[in-house]
Amino acid sequence: MNNFKYRLANFMRGRYGMDALYRALMAGTVILLVLHVFFPSPVLYLLSLACTGYAFFRAFSKNHARRAAENQKYLALRSAAGKKLLQARNRFRDRRTHRYRACPHCRQMLRLTRKIGVNHIKCPKCQHEFDLNIRF
């Protein structure tokens, strides 16, 4: 058993290994295979094989710079999606008491108390002052 462990360790030396994108690809594979069980389709099966193949290709690759760049792009995308989801959840939670509007100057999202009528607002980020009409 020790011989196998040393061979595996020697094989993986210099390889990129597993990262967040690898885990996401493997989770996607599992989801596609579960969907394939309920809705048999060769397309779902081939997509799951493609996800698995790409995940293993990335894990066994020796091109660290390229794999790290791919992972950074994935993490940036995941972070942006997470921020959008959190903002949507907050908007829904505060729908009765607050309004969310973007500053016309710097596009910073502002959380404003719900006061009907024209409100004079000063952006805390860029100090731009503007009037905003909240109708309901």
Per the structure, how many domains does the chain have?
Answer: 2
Tell me how far apart the alpha carbons of residues 109 and 126 are, in angstroms, rounded to a whole number: 12
Pull the structure tokens for residue 124: 């805390």
State the pTM of this model. 0.74
Q: Does residue 68 share a domain with residue 15?
A: yes
Q: Does residue 54 share a domain with residue 102?
A: no
Q: Does residue 42 share a domain with residue 105?
A: no
Task: Give the tens place of pLDDT for each residue, 8-27.
Answer: 889 889 999 999 999 999 99
Answer with the residue of higher pLDDT: 2 or 128: 128
pLDDT of residue 126: 92
CA dihedral defined by 45, 48, 52, 58, rounded to 10 degrees?
130
Domain carrying residue 129: 97-136
Tell me how far apart the alpha carbons of residues 90 and 98 are, in angstroms, rounded to a whole number: 10
Q: Is the pLDDT of residue 93 over 80?
A: yes
